[in-house]
Amino acid sequence: MYNSTCWYPYPQTNASVILTDYNVADVDCMLKLYQDIPWDGRLLISFKGNKQEGKDIITKAGFASQKWYYPIPNHHSPVEIYTDEYLPNVYMNHRYIPDNMDAHLYNIIKNETFVLQLGSYFVELIKSINTPHCPVEYAAITNYRKPQHQFITTILNNGTVQKTNLQPEGYKNLQNLKINHDVLASVDVNVLPLAWVGKQLVMPRIIHPTLLEYWVKMKTNITFNEDEIIRPFDAVVLNINKTIPTGKCYWEMVPANCFYDVEKSECIFFDQEYCWDNIDIEYAIARAISVVIYDPIFVNNKNKWQLLEKLKARYGLIKEWSVYSQFINKTTNAIFKNP
Question: What is the band of 11 on the pLDDT scale with cuts at 50, 70, 90?
Answer: low
- Domain range for 326 is 211-335
Query: Is residue 198 situated within a structural domain?
Result: no
Segment (H or E) for 260: strand 258-261
Q: Which of 104, 135, 166 is the last residue of a domain?
A: 135
Q: Which whole number is the average pLDDT over 167-181?
A: 95
Q: What pLDDT shows up at residue 92?
A: 57
Instruction: Check whether residue 123 and residue 221 sit in a common domain.
Output: no
Domain of 257, CATH number, reads: 1.10.510
Q: Is the pLDDT of residue 12 over 90?
A: no
* 8 Å CB contact between 151 and 142: yes
Boundary of a domain, candidates 116, 135, 154: 135
User: How far is 137 from 8, CA to CA, in rounded Å?
Assistant: 11
Residues 118 and 241 grouped into a single domain: no
pLDDT for 248? 94
Measured CA to CA, the distance from residue 214 to residue 229 in angstroms comes to 10
In a domain, 12, yes or no: yes
Q: From residue 68, give the alpha-carbon distance in Å to each of 121, 202, 205.
A: 7, 25, 22
Residue 171 has pLDDT above 50, yes or no: yes
**Residue 242, Cα to own-chain centre: how many angstroms?**
26
The pLDDT tens digits for 100-125 are: 456 667 677 766 667 777 778 999 99
pTM of the model: 0.86
165 is a domain residue: no
CA–CA separation, 38 and 241 (whole Å): 57
Q: Are residues 121 and 240 both part of a single domain? A: no
pLDDT at position 336, please? 65
Q: How much is the average pLDDT of 184-204?
A: 96
Tell which wins on pLDDT, 227 or 156: 156
Average pLDDT over residues 315-334: 89
157 located within any domain: no
pLDDT at 339: 43
Cα-to-chain-centroid distance, residue 47: 23
Segment (H or E) for 275: strand 275-277
The tens digit of pLDDT for each residue in 208-235 reads 988 988 887 776 444 557 778 889 999 9
The average pLDDT across 15-25 equals: 69
Residues 121 and 9 in one domain: yes
In this predicted structure, what is the pLDDT of residue 73?
84
pLDDT, tens digit (0-9, with 9 covering 90-100), for 259-295: 999 899 899 999 999 898 989 999 999 999 998 877 7
pLDDT of residue 120: 86
Give the number of domains in the chain: 2
E-assigned strand segments in 41-132:
42-48, 65-72, 80-83, 120-126
**6 in a domain, yes or no?**
yes
Q: What is the mean pLDDT of residues 235-257?
A: 95
Residue 312 domain-assigned (yes or no): yes
Task: Assess whether 225 and 117 both reside in one domain.
Answer: no
User: Which of 135, 169, 192 is the C-terminal boundary of a domain?
Assistant: 135
Cα 250 to Cα 107: distance, rounded to the nearest angstrom: 36
Kindly indicate the confidence band of residue 190, based on its pLDDT and cuts at 50, 70 and 90.
Answer: very high
